[in-house]
Structure 1
């Protein structure tokens, strides 16, 4: 587990210190894929450097499996740093070496013998989907493939934590998807804890279990992604849930018009039809849509209900885990 306790970090400014992190607190469970989301200047990269033990906070503690890293120096600090693999958008590959040679370089520095080194490199190239590219040079790859080579290189020494600082920056959608798949496979197949910092909520939608939202160096929201979605007013829900755009006239055609958030295959596929049948009412979708959070389908809809048992149906739907809210009047729009 990674624990951040009251993490505060500042840098010199023109007239006064600039606070990059302000009393940041959250836990990252072992084996999770955790996203830290925020706009440019929110403190994401500073936080990443503190977790990677490249920066010391002014105040507060980074704990790795309970170890207070602030007390480390010298050889012990270097040993613990090796437990954190780092990938960022500034890919530093050696152009004269092949893809396989780049991935092998950290193992060569540790003196790992040839047969073991080749086996490890082969396994990692398979994990990032570049088995057929091992003999090529970085210049022969597209930017997304080079980023995946960087992921494999960061994994070469078997770290316990993989830190990816804005790993999809500057990539086309298809290239970014390949990098995110590599990170997800690293967590799933190697049992790593993966921390991803990004300005793109779409990264959280694709691969993250948990999220912290940074704003001006502060954590303004954090928790399990799916749990945060049940509150449509949360920042995570506003960023990830489908938009709802309807008019008062559309809602006025029904006895009741509400917004619902449905999470999971059973809820999305069956809950509303079952409610209509059970209570003998009509339920129509008048806005919203579906998305996926990882492999989990999530729906956010505005529904209209007609029939005497509409209120009972809504109570029944809410009892089964749907989040039901009554929208304000007039046109509604929430950014997806």
Structure 2
């Protein structure tokens, strides 16, 4: 659907030019929710503008369904741009919620009855049917962001691009905004490309993710597939942090880090291993989270027992990722 090939972009400054993107590559499959994550200054917004055809890269290509958008002009470029919609949080303050959503359809010349039906469907999708006659200033930040998503979806684009869609939205309302983007994929078949500095956004809705750092791609891949990858930077960003004291570690023969994915693994794998091999597996750090509807845990376990190696091997054979971290801890002073 979207292919970014070796895209680089610099901006002039009073000193040396600012390099925003360095040979960035990514592939966004049709029907995916794809996340680009990274801290401020990583290049996320510049990449979003290049994909949205709002910026021309210095080098490289952005392709939609294999077509290099930089080679298009005139009507072909306008037609291609209609296939991609950008979630713009700036609403028209003098127009109602329904009026804002209708604006793109008016520009397309859609007839009144059909336009009203389309607006009603979209407001239902974003959960704002009752707010149709309200003005943007009467809404919360999260509700306004959902209106912006509905407006972006009005012309039924193939691709929806959302640059930091939960910016300045509180945690509770952020979930509603992300749910709307997920529904756009599930119910309208849209491909969603979003950028965010917030790992929680990627955990909630993204199928695939790319980590940018100083304009370069550090890592890319399927979110769940990366969680068990040793040394994965994305896994480190998305999984619960592991915190514990030296005193906690000193009580055990060894400590290991374990990543468990799925209901069965999270709920039963560790207790079953402990009972089967007569060992003690105590959680001394980490925690539990969700990736979409899938529960995922990263625990640091304190391990005691003669058959500990067999227990850990059994856990790994059933899909968990087990990383040995420290040994002989009971012989080390706290």
TM range (shorter): over 0.9
SS of residue matched to 1:286: strand
Rounded to whole Å, the distance in 2 between the matches of 1:160 and 1:12 is 33
- Where in structure 2 are the equivalents of 1:5-16 lying within 5 Å? 5-16=5-16
1:236 aligned residue? 234
Q: Secondary structure at the match of 1:97?
A: coil
- Residue of structure 2 in register with 1:113 after alignment: 111
Residue in 2 that maps onto 1:162? 160
Q: Given the two structures, how large is their TM-score scaled by the length of structure 2?
A: 0.94
Give how far 1:34 is off: 0.7
Alpha-carbon distance, 1:328 to partner: 4.2
Distance 2:15 2:256 in 1: 51
Deviations 1:84-133 (A, max 9, x none): 11014xx2222222111110111111111112111111110011110110
Give the distance between the partners of 1:330 and 1:40, measured in 2 at CA: 41
Deviation at 1:155, TM superposition (A): 0.3
Q: Report Cα offsets for 1:148-198 as digits up to 9, x if no partner.
A: 111000000000000001111112112222211111111111111101111
* Separation of aligned partners in 2, 1:31 and 1:175: 24
Structure 2 counterparts to residues 286-301 of structure 1, below 5 A: 286-301=284-299
* Structure 1: distance between partners of 2:46 and 2:327: 43
Contact in 2 for aligned 1:37/1:198 (Cα 8 Å): yes
Distance in structure 2 (CA, Å) of the matches to 1:79 and 1:193 = 17
Cα deviation code 1:49-92 (max 9, x no counterpart):
1111111111111111111112111111111011111014xx22
Query: Aligned partners of 1:13, 1:255: CA distance in 2, in Å?
Result: 57
1:329 is displaced (CA, Å) by: 7.2
Q: Which runs of 5+ in 2 are unaligned?
A: 330-334
Secondary structure at the aligned position of 2:54 is classed as coil
**1:273-288 matched pairs, under 5 angstroms:** 273-288=271-286
Aligned partner of residue 275 in structure 2, secondary structure: helix
Distance, in Å, in 1 between the alignment partners of 2:303 and 2:8 is 50
Q: Aligned to 1:93, what secondary structure does the other structure show?
A: coil
TM-fit CA distance, 1:209: 1.1
Match of 2:24 in 1: 24
- The answer on whether the counterparts of 1:255 and 1:310 sit within 8 Å (CA) in structure 2 is no
CA distance in 1, matches of 2:91, 2:281: 57
User: Partners in 1 of 2:272 and 2:295 — Cα distance?
Assistant: 18
Partner of 2:122: 124
> Equivalent residue for 1:2?
2
SS in 2 for 1:34: strand
Match for residue 332 of structure 2? none
Question: What is the deviation of 1:280?
Answer: 2.7
1:176 to 174, 199, 204: 174
Aligned length: 329
RMSD: 1.7
Q: Which residue of 2 aligns with 1:251?
A: 249
